[in-house]
């Protein structure tokens, strides 16, 4: 029988024939389906084939109309709803896609592709937890072995220890089972053991290069470890297979942002939003990339689009507040207060809204109400964190015992001799972005961002497998010989090279938390420069309290934790001033504001750089800036921020008491007199 003639056999035979044509020749499948419908008008199976054929030929609207009509029938099975969801997803209707896919898996729980698509759509919609649940159900519906079914159920219930035990046992018997390997990687990833997950997923793809879900997991795990270049390569591979997948495009855009490729990230977000304009979280991420590029008006428009689409999205409101130079209109304040009044609002949106309202009311000089919102936001955020202040105190005490003058003298001139790196350390909100912008305006220096590489090296040296383990760092450094120490220095320079696009001899790493690793930095990079930017304890502490950080500053959501962290930081810096005299250049924020040119000249002299006028006009520098201060450093210096914390003094008595020891000595570190101003 010719492929396009009327079916001469039974209806079932004709339908099977049409279905077989879908993949190789969808246009013939369509013709066959239409012939069936001429004989059997309204036949649901033929309409289903027709819809799939239209989708396969790129007619997504035609497919949607047919499937939408079919799904209105209460007798339609899950497969039809799943196809409808997939088509709506392709058309950028995430909300409709999620509803259709949830209906599909309710009717037919054993549809692996529907669970996977549901996970993708929830992820695009910003529901990471719901996405994880759908992906776990995808695994459960994909496996047949009783042990893997049990392990998948444990994953669905988040019983990770049980899942890990079952999967390790299974893989001893079946070491090349790629589904089990991927499941074990998922367990490791959820436990935060990303290196293990990365290794397992690499093995998985070695065995099964076309295993899409494993590659998607692999790209995500690489991204979470700041291995942006590798993550981008995997995202490119995925996009070659599925060029319109918004999840893959969003992942690549985020990874491009990690290495400062904001212009390319913006292109990706624009492509994504052209196809999926109703995505509030994608608009917000687009706003972040625009902010880094200094495109302020476009950035504000993107954030405002985000809150228009989803008024409860606290993070987008906070992103507007976090521009620092943006002032909310009265109707914005009412809108945020309305959202906070909703009982069903989740904690994450709630704390972001509290921080945003704190800033909005501060700008209106309503300080008592403003402080109450900052307090509420911090309480909620602190409750969600597993932060233990004693961990940093313990680390500081161990460093003070371990890093002695004798330790460094025995290892002088070890490490990589390259002088390229300039480390700007201290506490967040102390002025490090301003210092980076000043130095990054010099013709010999490239500004980058807060690089994670020193923290990552320290974590690896510590060898901790889980939270309760004791880290071997810094003591593990005692076991390294000069060759091993040089390898670490060279590795740091190799890992950070991706951020150095201008070919300048020096670059800045402004991760503030690196103050905890000065011993490591000096050991592996003895010729690197280290600048400690310090701000008045009360001003810095309260500025931290007003700030919501995307990640990594767990100490900043409780005034007692902040006071303890600041005190630990001062103690550790004082120790290094004694163990490595004049090695670190201390720059006091208040001195910089009051005596700007003199402090800039001292800073450049320490860095052994010739004076350049451009450093005084740092605000004219158009380089991308990623931190909370990105808008502020595009303006000349204003002195009014120095005493701003005093508006809140009536509520800061306990903080002042907790900071008493460092306040009495500021700006000198406790017990060590005046700080060295010159590098000798």
Residue 595 DSSP label: S
* Interval 319-368: pLDDT, tens: 999 998 899 999 999 999 999 999 999 999 999 999 999 999 999 999 99
Number of compact structural domains in the chain:
1
The model's pTM is 0.81
Position 633 in a domain:
yes
Give DSSP secondary structure letters for 31-82.
Answer: HHHHHHHHHSTT-HHHHHHHHHHHHHTT-HHHHHHHHHHHHTSTT--HHHHH
What's the pLDDT at 643?
80
- Rounded Cα distance between 190 and 162, Å, is 13
With a pLDDT cut of 90, the percent of the chain lying above it is 67
Whole-Å CA distances, 624 to 253, 292, 436, 446, 454: 15, 5, 12, 11, 22
Whole-Å CA distances, 500 to 281, 444, 448, 450, 508: 30, 12, 7, 13, 10
**What is the mean pLDDT of the segment spanning 554-563?**
93
What's the pLDDT at 563?
95
What's the pLDDT at 53?
93
pLDDT-derived band at 529, boundaries 50, 70, 90: very high
Position 332 in a domain:
no
Q: Tell me, what CATH number does 501's domain have? A: 3.40.50.300
Position 137 in a domain:
no
Position 416 in a domain:
yes
* Interval 165-204: pLDDT, tens: 999 999 999 999 999 999 999 999 988 889 899 999 999 9
Give DSSP secondary structure letters for 131-198.
Answer: HHHHHHHHHHHH--SHHHHHHHHHHHTT-HHHHHHHHHHHHHH-TT-HHHHHHHHHHHHHTT-HHHHH
SS3 content of the chain, % helix, strand, coil (to 5): 65, 5, 30
For residues 590-612, one letter each, b for 16 or more C-beta atoms within 10 angstroms of the residue's C-beta and e for the rest, the string is bbbbeeeeebbebbbebbebeee
Position 273 in a domain:
no
Confirm if 495 and 507 have CB atoms less than 8 A apart.
Answer: no
Position 471 in a domain:
yes
Q: Which domain holds residue 436?
A: 391-665
**What is the mean pLDDT of the segment spanning 374-390?**
93
* Interval 606-641: pLDDT, tens: 999 999 999 988 887 765 555 545 455 455 666 666
What's the pLDDT at 95?
87
* Interval 254-313: pLDDT, tens: 999 988 899 999 999 999 999 888 888 899 999 999 998 889 999 999 999 999 999 999
Position 345 in a domain:
no
Position 6 pLDDT exceeds 60: no
How many distinct helices (H) and strands (E) make up the chain? 34, 5
* Interval 108-119: pLDDT, tens: 998 988 998 998
Whole-Å CA distances, 539 to 348, 361, 491, 663: 26, 19, 37, 11
Confirm if 83 and 103 have CB atoms less than 8 A apart.
Answer: no
Position 574 in a domain:
yes
What's the pLDDT at 11?
87
């Amino acid at each position: 029988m010719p492929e396009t003639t009327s079916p001469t056999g039974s209806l079932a035979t004709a339908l099977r024939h049409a279905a077989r044509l879908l993949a190789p020749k969808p246009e013939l499948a369509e013709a066959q389906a239409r012939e069936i419908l001429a004989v059997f008008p309204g036949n649901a199976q033929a309409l289903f084939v027709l819809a799939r054929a239209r989708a396969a030929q790129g007619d997504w609207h035609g497919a949607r109309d047919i499937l939408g009509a079919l799904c209105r029938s209460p007798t339609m099975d899950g497969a039809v709803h799943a196809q409808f969801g997939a088509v709506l997803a392709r058309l950028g209707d995430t909300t409709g896609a999620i509803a259709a896919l949830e209906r599909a898996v309710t009717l037919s729980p054993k549809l692996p592709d529907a669970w996977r698509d549901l996970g993708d759509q929830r992820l695009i919609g910003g529901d990471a937890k719901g996405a994880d649940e759908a992906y776990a159900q995808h695994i459960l519906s994909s496996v047949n072995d009783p042990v893997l079914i049990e392990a998948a159920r444990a994953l669905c219930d988040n019983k990770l220890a049980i899942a890990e035990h079952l999967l390790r046992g299974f893989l001893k018997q079946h070491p090349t089972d790629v589904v089990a390997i991927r499941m074990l990687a998922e367990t490791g990833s959820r436990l935060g053991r990303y290196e293990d997950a990365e290794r397992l997923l690499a093995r998985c793809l070695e065995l099964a290069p076309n295993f899409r879900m494993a590659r998607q997991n692999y790209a995500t795990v690489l991204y979470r470890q700041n291995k942006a270049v590798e993550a981008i390569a995997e995202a490119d591979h995925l996009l070659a297979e599925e060029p319109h997948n918004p999840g893959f495009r969003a992942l690549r855009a985020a990874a491009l942002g990690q290495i400062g490729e904001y212009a390319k990230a913006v292109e990706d977000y624009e492509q994504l939003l052209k196809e999926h304009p109703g995505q509030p979280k994608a608009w917000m991420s687009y706003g972040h990339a625009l902010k880094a590029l200094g495109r302020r008006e476009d950035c504000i428009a993107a954030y405002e689009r985000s809150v228009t689409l989803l008024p409860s999205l606290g993070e987008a409101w906070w992103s507007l507040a976090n521009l620092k130079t943006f002032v909310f209109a009265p109707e914005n304040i009412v809108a945020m207060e309305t959202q906070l009044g909703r009982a069903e609002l989740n904690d994450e949106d709630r704390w972001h809204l509290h921080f945003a309202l704190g800033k909005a009311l501060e700008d209106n000089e309503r300080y008592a109400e403003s402080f109450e919102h900052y307090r509420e936001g911090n309480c909620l955020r602190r409750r969600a964190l597993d932060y233990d202040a004693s961990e940093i105190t313990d680390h500081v005490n161990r460093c003070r015992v371990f890093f002695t003058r004798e330790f460094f003298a025995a290892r002088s001139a070890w490490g990589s001799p390259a002088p390229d790196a300039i480390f700007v350390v201290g506490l967040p909100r102390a002025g490090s972005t301003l210092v980076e912008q000043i130095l990054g305006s010099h013709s010999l220096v490239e500004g980058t961002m807060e690089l994670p590489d020193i923290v990552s090296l320290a974590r690896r040296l510590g060898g901790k497998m889980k939270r309760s383990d004791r880290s071997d760092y810094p003591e593990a450094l005692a076991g390294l010989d000069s060759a091993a120490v040089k390898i670490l220095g060279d590795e740091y320079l190799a890992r950070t090279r991706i951020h150095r696009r201008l070919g300048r001899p020096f670059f800045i790493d402004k991760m503030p938390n690196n103050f905890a690793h000065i011993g490591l930095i000096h050991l592996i990079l003895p010729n690197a420069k280290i600048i400690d930017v310090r701000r008045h304890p009360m001003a810095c502490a309260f500025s931290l309290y007003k700030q919501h950080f995307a990640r990594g500053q767990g100490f900043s959501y409780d005034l007692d934790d902040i006071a303890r962290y600041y005190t630990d930081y001062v103690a550790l810096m004082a120790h290094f001033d004694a163990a490595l005299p004049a090695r670190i250049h201390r720059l006091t924020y208040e001195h910089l504001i009051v005596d700007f040119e003199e402090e800039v000249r001292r800073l450049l002299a320490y860095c052994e750089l010739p004076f350049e006028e451009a450093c005084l006009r740092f605000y004219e520098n158009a380089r991308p800036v990623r931190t909370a201060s990105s808008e502020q450093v595009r303006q000349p210096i204003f002195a009014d921020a120095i005493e701003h914390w005093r508006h809140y003094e009536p509520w800061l008595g306990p903080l002042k008491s907790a900071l008493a020891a460092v306040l009495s000595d500021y700006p000198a570190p406790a017990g060590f007199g005046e700080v060295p101003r010159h590098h000798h």
